[in-house]
Amino acid sequence: DIVMTQSPLSLPVTPGEPASISCRSSQSLLHSNGYTYLNWYLQKPGQSPQLLIHLGSNRASGVPDRFSGSGSRTDFTLKITRVEAEDVGVYYCMQALQTPITFGQGTRLEIK
């Protein structure tokens, strides 16, 4: 199984400041078709998860451009340029390269 490891697990951020979350996979998520099967999700309090980024760096429809995904093979980063109050929640990375599909442990972003 591919193990997904996120850091930090807790992230207090002042509104307007940037934030960054790291995700590492135990093996490369680069498929032979050239795509990297890494997604980022945000689960806001009391809600279902929502897709932020797919294929490593593609913002999902409706996601603000302050969110960006980068990285390759085994090292990935989710960045928020300026955190807003509505960004509070738990962020998960997920690999969809192979089954079992696996998620990171989650990073809880809170507002200072």
Partner 1 sequence: EVQLVESGGGVLQPGGSLRLSCAASGFPFSSYWMHWVRQAPGKGLVWVSRINSGGSITTYADSVRGRFTISRDNAKNTLYLQMNSLRAEDTAVYYCVRDLGPGDIWGQGTTLTVSS
Return residues touching partner 1 (CB under 8 A).
37, 39, 41, 43, 48-51, 54-55, 58, 60-61, 90, 92, 94, 96, 99-106
Give the nearer residue to partner 1 in terms of CB position, either 5 or 14: 5
Give the nearer residue to partner 1 in terms of CB position, either 32 or 61. 61
Total residue count of the chain as it appears in this document: 112
Residue 72 C-beta: closest distance to partner 1, Å: 18
CA pair distance 35, 100, nearest whole angstrom = 18
Task: Quote the least distance from Cβ 32 to partner 1, whole Å.
Answer: 17
In one letter, which amino acid is 110? Answer: E
Nearer to partner 1, 17 or 110 (CB): 110
Q: Which of 90, 74, 91, 79 is nearest to 37 (CA)?
A: 74
Beta carbon of residue 92, minimum distance to partner 1 (angstroms, whole number): 6
At its nearest, how many Å lie between partner 1 and the CB of residue 112?
23
DSSP characters over 13-54: E-TTS-EEEEEEESS--B-TTS-B-EEEEEE-TTS--EEEEE
